[in-house]
């Protein structure tokens, strides 16, 4: 698991966008529903590689294998 801290919780209809600071990296997560988390909460992230989408930081284009 990767330790992180919730920075932003943004409800977006049926999903919620979370911005998590994990070391030097900022990770944006989309979750279903309304997780019981708040900015400042410490979290442990377990990431399913099959569910990851990576985007180029400069162009915003999705990076594919």
Domain limits for position 30: 2-63
Scanning the chain, the segments in alpha helix (DSSP H) are none
Domain with residue 54: its CATH number is 2.40.50.140
Across the chain, mean pLDDT equals 93
Total domains in the fold of the chain: 1
What backbone torsions phi and psi does residue 33 show, to the nearest 5 degrees?
A: 80, -155
**pLDDT tens readout for residues 25-44:** 999 999 999 999 999 999 99
- Answer whether residue 52 shows pLDDT above 90: no
Over residues 42-58, the mean pLDDT reads 90
Round the CA-based radius of gyration of the chain to a whole number and report it.
12
Q: What is the C-alpha separation between 58 and 48, in angstroms, rounded? A: 25
Q: Which residues have CB under 8 Å from 15's CB, separation 6+? A: 30, 31, 32, 33
């Amino acid at each position: 698991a990767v330790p992180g801290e919730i920075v932003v919780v943004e409800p977006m209809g049926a999903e919620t966008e979370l911005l998590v600071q994990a070391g030097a990296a900022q990770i944006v997560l989309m979750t279903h529903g309304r997780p019981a988390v708040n900015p400042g909460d410490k979290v442990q992230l377990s990431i399913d590689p099959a569910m990851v989408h990576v985007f180029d930081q400069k162009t915003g284009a999705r990076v594919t294998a």
